[in-house]
Amino acid sequence: MKKEIKKILISVEDKTIIEGVAEFEKIFKEKIKNKELEKSVKLSRTGTFGVNTKGISIVIYPGGVLYSDLKIHDIDKILNQHILKGIPVQELMPEPISERLSEHGFNPEEAKNENRIVLSNVGKINPESIDEYITSGGYNAVKAIAEEGLEPKDIIDIIKESGLRGRGGAGFPTGLKWEITAKESSDEKYIICNADEGEPGTSKDRLILEGDPHRIIEGMIIAGYAVGAEKGYVYIRGEYKISVERVVKAIKDAYKKELLGKDILGTGFTFDIELKKGAGAYVCGEETALIESIEGKRGNPRIKPPYPGEKGLHNKPTVVNNVETLANIAPIIVNGSKWFHSFGTEDCPGTKVFTLVGDIKYPGIIELPMGVTLREIVFGFGGGIKADRGLKAIHLGGSSGAVFDKSFLDVPLDFDSVKKQGGLLGSGSVLVIDNETDMRNYLENVLLFFKHESCGQCIPCRIGTARLYDLVKKLDKNGQNDVIISNMEHLTDVMFKSSLCPLGQSLIYPVKSIFKNFGNEFK
């Protein structure tokens, strides 16, 4: 009988580098050699494993056993016990989520389990190996196009039927977006993957870029084919060094396998991808600012309409999609739109990747079906409040979203339900704030962020963000809070109505919700 090869994936990323992962990896390799296990064990690198890990972490296949917070002296234990004897080392495994769920009174069976569509490969394959991606079923969607002769229109229909909505924040139906661009007639069209991820409290796109970059490339190829674009750009924020490296490698490998370039898999379809780095500007996540930035300009948002779908990059029809959106494409093409509807809610099918941050026990990234409640996320998957303080607030959807108090814990998290509550699902950031935090200080910090990130182009936002910041600092200091608060509320109203882009418009969410839900702190 052929002996099964064990695969060890080690997470190499910024945070593990400082923990000494390089050293750890070196010693691990030496020990494998010393024990003459080279033939039966394959050690390779991967990206983050996401939620639930700490420090240096590895996963061992088969079985997908996760070990976390490892020290060098743990290596022997793992090799001796797990590799040689096949017995997992319990004490090195992180606390399973199901246990946390039950701790907080949920039935783990009933609770919506983490359900990976987007992150299915993350932490399981070596992101720098195109072969592993292919072995795991990758590029099957592209192959399907080649083999089954799917027409662009068919693709658009599948995506439309799937009900997929953009994960970049606004939740715009992706199929419809593609259809608009597909219908434009133009000598050139473009696909842009928005990997600028600047919304505070969001690191889910990085996880995908680092952990499964080919998924994005595959999504872009399909998008290009569907709308008739021959060129794609991945715009990654300049700070994401490892993401950049991984995507660059992935693009290169895809070219080698003729999955990019001319006549992809004999379909006659040509698609090229280029990577562009940002250089530090939150507003460049806004699609038109991003386009300006790709064009080598200041990242000033453009007036819409025209929308990028009609006039985008170089004034040609352009689809801009978020990383997570694109990561959903290949699975949908392979598994069908019906399958996609088996996750999430009717109007928001599929999953959402949430980033859990703040005063929470287990910060991290988790993919859950749309419609999961805040309570499940915070107390279930997130393990509740750190140091068991009380929960005061949840800033949902990023800094541009609303800040909720406890009474909103049962809101299902999907685009429409959150909107109904006066907030935004946004990027899926769940920032938990415990009752040690002064909401005025918090608001000041939020406003500092916007003051710093306003592009400065339009008056309401350029000066408005600065005045809001001045005003919030005056709160509590002169006893005239009511006047100041109403000035601030009025100002955010005006900014909402008159700002040129959603950055300035969105301040209304944090400002008004904080005054509304935490008004007693400003008395």
Partner 1 sequence: MTKKVKIYVDNKEILAEEGANLLQVARDSGIDIPGLCYYEKVTPTGSCRLCLVKIEGENGMIPSCTIKVRDGLKVTAFDNELEDVRKTIVELLISEHKLGCMTCDTASSCALEDLAYRYNVTVDNLPYDVKNEFEPVDDSSPVLAYDPNKCIVCGRCVKACYEIQGKGIIDFIGRGIETRIGADLGDLWGNSACDGCGECIQACPVGALFEKASQGKGRKWEIEKVETICPYCGVGCRIEVEKKGNEIVRINGVDKGPANEGRLCVKGRFGYEYEMSEERLTTPLIKEKGKFRRASWSEALDIVADRFAAIKKNYGSDSIAGLASAKCTNEENYIFQKFMRAAIGTNNVDHCARLCHASTVAGLARAFGSGAMTNSIKEFEFADCILVTGSNTTETHPVIATYIKNAVLKHGAKLIVVDPRKIDLVKYATLWLRQKNGTDVAWANGMMNVIVNENLQDGKFIANRTEGFEEFKKVIEEYTPERVEKITGIPKEKIIEAARMYAGAANSSIVFSMGITQHVTGTDNVLSLANLALLTGNVGKLYSGVNPLRGQNNVQGACDLGSLPNVYPGYQKVKDPKIKEKFEKKWHVKLDDKVGLSVVEMMNAAHEGKVKAMYIMGENPMVSDPNLNHVEEALKNLDFLVVQDIFLTETAQLADVVLPAYSSFEKSGTFTNTERRIQLLNPVLRAPEGAKEDWEIIQEISTKMGYKMHYNNQGEIMDEAADVSPIYGGIHFNRLGKKGLQWPCRDDKDPGTVFLHEGKFSRGLGHFSPVDYIPPAELPDKEYPYLLSTGRMLFHYHTGTMTRKVTALNDFEPGPYAEISPEIAKKLKIKEGESIRVSSRRGSIITKARITERVAPESVFIPFHFAEAAANKLTNDVLDPIAKIPELKVAACKVEKI
Partner 2 sequence: MNVDKILKRYNSDRENLIQALHDIQDNTEGNYLRTGDLKKAADYFHMSLSEINGVVEFYSMFSKKPRGKYIIRVCQSPPCYIKGAFNVLGELKNLLGIDLNDTTKDKLFTLETTSCLGACDEAPVMSVNNIIYGKLNTEKIKNIIKHYREEKRGK
Ligand X SMILES: Cc1cc2nc3c(=O)[nH]c(=O)nc-3n(C[C@H](O)[C@H](O)[C@H](O)COP(=O)(O)O)c2cc1C
Taking the least distance from each CB to ligand X, the nearer of 285 and 464 is: 285
193 binds partner 2 (CB under 8 A): no
Q: Considering only residues 273 through 312, tell me which ones interact with partner 1, judged by CB under 8 A.
A: 281, 298, 303
286 binds ligand X (CB under 6 A): yes
358 interacts with, out of partner 2, ligand X, partner 1, none, CB within 5 to 8 A per kind: partner 2
CB atoms within 10 A of CB 401: 28
Q: How far is the CB of 164 from ligand X (least distance, A)?
A: 9
20 binds ligand SF4 (CB under 6 A): no
Structure token digits, residue 427: 């990027």
368 binds ligand SF4 (CB under 6 A): no
Question: Residues 227, 181: contact at Cβ < 8 Å?
Answer: yes
Among 464, 475, 506, 518, binds partner 1 (CB under 8 A): 464
Site string for partner 1, 231-270 (x = CB under 8 A): ----------------------------------------
Contact region for ligand SF4 (CB under 6 A) — 314-322, 393-401, 426-434, 452-460? 452-460
Among 16, 499, 513, 517, binds ligand SF4 (CB under 6 A): 499
CB atoms within 10 A of CB 71: 12
371 binds ligand X (CB under 6 A): no
Q: How far is the CB of 415 from ligand SF4 (least distance, A)?
A: 22
Residue with tokens 């389990």: 113
Q: Which of left, alpha, beta for 297 (phi over 0: left; psi -120 to 50: alpha)?
A: beta
Q: Which of left, alpha, beta for 454 (phi over 0: left; psi -120 to 50: alpha)?
A: beta
Contacts of 388 (CB under 8 A, 6+ apart): none
Question: Residues 237, 195: contact at Cβ < 8 Å?
Answer: yes
Instruction: Please report how the helices 213-227 and 323-341 are oriented relative to each other, as an axis angle in degrees rounded to 10.
Output: 80
150 binds ligand SF4 (CB under 6 A): no
Among 75, 290, 294, 491, binds partner 1 (CB under 8 A): 491
Contacts of 238 (CB under 8 A, 6+ apart): 277, 278, 279, 280
> Which DSSP state fits 114?
P
Query: Dihedrals φ, ψ of 45, to 5°?
Result: -90, 150
Contact region for ligand X (CB under 6 A) — 36-44, 428-436, 486-494, 499-507? 499-507
- Name the CA radius of gyration of the chain, rounded: 24
381 interacts with, out of ligand SF4, partner 1, partner 2, none, CB within 5 to 8 A per kind: none
Among 123, 169, 344, 510, binds ligand X (CB under 6 A): 169
